[in-house]
Amino acid sequence: MLKNDPVALIREKALWMRRTAFTMVHRARAGHPGGDFSATDIMATLYFGVMKYDAKRPDWADRDRFIMSKGHATGALYSALAAAGYFPEDWLPTYMQPRSLLNGHPNRNYLPGIETNTGPLGHGFPVAVGIAIAGQLTGASYRTYVLTGDGEQQEGSNWEAAMLSGHRKLVNLTLIIDRNRLQQGTGTEETSGLDPLDEKYRAFGWEVVEVDGHDPAALLAVLGAAPGDKPRCVIANTVKGKGVSFMENVASWHHGVPNDDQYAQAMKELV
């Protein structure tokens, strides 16, 4: 039974999310499917194996907070929120349509389950730090999770956030870096090298764990672990476009849009 097998449930949800997100992008003729697919297994693990929330009470004070700092990956975010019950699945076909509540970047004024507006890279992580500080000051039980892209790590605001988090020992904060090593146009190390990313976060006072970002069992173990004595940085090694042969590790699928033949092929592979 899926309800007794969290890994099987996460895999089922992740498959549905990939198929749904790609359909949204195909219909809208816009989106960021490569980054959606590298983040999907992480998102499915958080929403269906780790975080505490009540989709019927999105403002529940004790909910865990999730911030999608890589705000262009709305295909992954909206499909996760719909699957979790925050809004009806029949809203998804309106993605990026005129007057749709499902913008290209998430807007907390439009949809339940979104903690803050994101899109300009480097904004979500600092907001998550503020939320974690609020929880620390009030003694709240919630945990804060934030997902950034790896290219996003090139933004200076992230390093201010990292420094402050380490200084304040925000043990209620988990940063997840979607480390697919590609950003718009080319590789991260060709644009502005990030390695050794793990050593940099350790130098700022973080616990750092590397994990296969497409292995639900490994993700569950890391993301669901009890807090230690430092904020936790999870470097999730992923594949851009994971799950579709012609998209995997291809930079142009950062914001590529499938034609009808590509869409049909992807649907055959996503089973």
Q: What is the mean pLDDT of residues 172-185?
A: 96
CA distances 77 to 7, 193, 234, Å, are: 20, 27, 19
pLDDT per residue as tens digits for the range 104-163: 999 999 999 999 999 999 999 999 999 999 999 999 999 999 999 999 999 999 999 999
All residues at 6 or more sequence positions from 234 whose CB lies less than 8 Å from its CB, including other chains: 174, 175, 176, 177, 209, 210, 211, 222, 223
Q: Residue 2 above 70 pLDDT?
A: no
The Cα–Cα gap between 95 and 75 comes to 9
Q: In which residue are the tokens 């069992």 written? A: 217
pTM score, whole prediction:
0.97
Q: What is the mean pLDDT of residues 18-26?
A: 98
Specify the CATH number for the domain of residue 39. 3.40.50.970
To 5 degrees, how large is the angle CA 155–CA 103–CA 216?
65
The structural domain count of the chain equals 1
**Do strands 173-179 and 144-149 pair parallel, antiparallel, or not at all (unpaired)?**
parallel
Q: Residue 33: which pLDDT band, with cuts at 50, 70 and 90?
A: very high
Residue 48 and residue 9 in contact, taking contact as beta carbons nearer than 8 Å = yes
Which helix (H) or strand (E) covers residue 266, if one does? helix 260-269
- Closest Cα to residue 80, out of 108, 112, 110? 112
Cis peptide bond prior to 120, omega within 30° of 0: no
All residues at 6 or more sequence positions from 143 whose CB lies less than 8 Å from its CB, including other chains: 51, 64, 65, 135, 172, 173, 174, 227
**Do strands 173-179 and 232-237 pair parallel, antiparallel, or not at all (unpaired)?**
parallel
Q: Three-class SS of residue 65?
A: strand
Which range of residues forms the domain containing residue 120? 2-269
pLDDT of residue 1: 43
